[in-house]
Amino acid sequence: MKPDPSRDELLFLHLVSMFQFAAMQQMGKLPNPVTGKIERDLEQARMSIDMIEMLYAKTAGSRTSAESEFLDKVLFELRMNFVDEKKRGGTESPAPEDPASEGDDGAS
């Protein structure tokens, strides 16, 4: 079966979009589709952005101009949003309470 360049391009763009969506969600820019809540985990967002940067580097020289343009725009948008979130402070959404720490204040 011969590879279909147009199908491969669509699959590549979809893969990049998946990481883009994940990073935006992890930065707290989009709600979690399962819970509907805004969750923030900048460490995971950085990992998603790094994955796109790796794809950018590994596909250099073999991308179409449309793929390159899309990657450039996605990376620019994610980097700007990431910087914005870092300036806001904090790295993650509030951590769940540790059940073991409850009652350690001496007031039982």
* Largest CA-CA distance found in the chain, in angstroms, rounded: 71
Domain boundaries, given as residue ranges, for the chain: 10-88
Here the tokens at position 53 are 């940067």
Tens of pLDDT, residues 52-94: 999 999 999 999 999 999 999 999 999 999 999 999 986 554 4
Q: ∠ CA 25-31-33 to the nearest 5 degrees?
A: 95
Cα R_g (the chain), whole angstroms: 19
Q: What is the pLDDT of residue 99?
A: 40
pTM above 0.85, yes or no: no
Instruction: List Cβ neighbours of 90 (8 Å cut-off, separation of 6 or more).
Output: 40, 42
